[in-house]
Amino acid sequence: MPREIYRIDGADSEHFLQGLVTNDVAKLSRGLVYTAMLTPQGKYLADFFLVPAEGAILLDVDANIGASLVQRLGMYKLRADVNIGKTALHLHRGLGTPPQDAFADPRSEALGWRAYREDAQPEDQHTDWDAVRVGNLIPETGTDLTNDSYILEMGFERLNGVDFKKGCYVGQEVTARMKHKTELRKGLVQVTGTSSLTAGSEITSKGKPVGSILTTSGDKALAYLRFDRATGELEADGVTLTRTA
């Protein structure tokens, strides 16, 4: 997925972001911060990376939601000393030994490294990133994460995308209540089929809908599942499924 890189600077930048995002911005002292912005009702709006930079914070976001995210951030800026502008930087990413200018992807070791450079990223001919994500239960913006998502259902605690000790942020109350007072009845899982799977297919159990197929990789896929209803054999388009993670 194409990415856009924005630069956030100004004396109030860190404090400004701290009150809006799900993770602790202070973690920038250790590298990349994976985080999200939520609605006041606790639903997903956008996920992105915050990147430490000299005199600034970079924001690495899916290009399809970059403009809307920046517009949303601008609504909260008011009189804060914060400037947000798009850069000409490009995301580079890979597996194996990271280059000197790279940061470890905080979501999982399986996702390797990310770096931000002025030269355009050459087309990656070697890594099947969908297969990596499906194999490690990692959701993608737009494909798996939508405006109906709750981040705890989509694994953000496991992916180091939320901090429960940082204090208030938009949507924090709902997220904290889901963490401490409820048992998740829906969520992201990995399934394996008896043959290839199709994204968007409805998952049924005992003939009733219980979820849907999201990102696919051959006979494996990410799926959004109703745990309380998925009590029998699972099927999608006539393919028998087994929950594998």
Answer left, alpha or beta for residue 201, where phi above 0 means left and psi between -120 and 50 means alpha.
Answer: beta
Domains and CATH numbers, the chain: 3-180 (3.30.1360.120), 186-243 (no CATH)
Read off the pLDDT of residues 180-236 as tens digits, 9 standing for 90 and up.
988 899 999 999 999 999 999 999 999 999 999 999 999 999 999 999 999 889 999
The C-alpha atoms of residue 121 and residue 129 are separated, in whole angstroms, by 15
The C-alpha atoms of residue 68 and residue 70 are separated, in whole angstroms, by 5
What does the longest C-alpha to C-alpha distance in the chain come to? 58
Read off the pLDDT of residues 61-120 as tens digits, 9 standing for 90 and up.
999 999 999 999 999 998 999 999 999 999 999 999 999 999 999 999 999 999 999 998
Structure confidence at residue 219 (pLDDT): 97
Q: Grade residue 47 by pLDDT with cuts at 50, 70 and 90.
A: very high
Q: Grade residue 123 by pLDDT with cuts at 50, 70 and 90.
A: low
Residue 169 token pair: 């942020």
The C-alpha atoms of residue 244 and residue 161 are separated, in whole angstroms, by 23
Beta-bridged to residue 60, according to DSSP, are: 5, 49
Q: Is 130 a residue whose pLDDT tops 70?
A: yes
**In sequence order, which residues have a C-beta less than 8 Å from that of residue 77 and are 6 or more positions away?**
16, 84
Q: Is 121 a residue whose pLDDT tops 80?
A: no
In the chain, the percentage of residues whose pLDDT exceeds 70 is: 99
The whole-number average pLDDT for the span 33-58 is 97
The single residue listed with the structure tokens 């494996």 is: 220
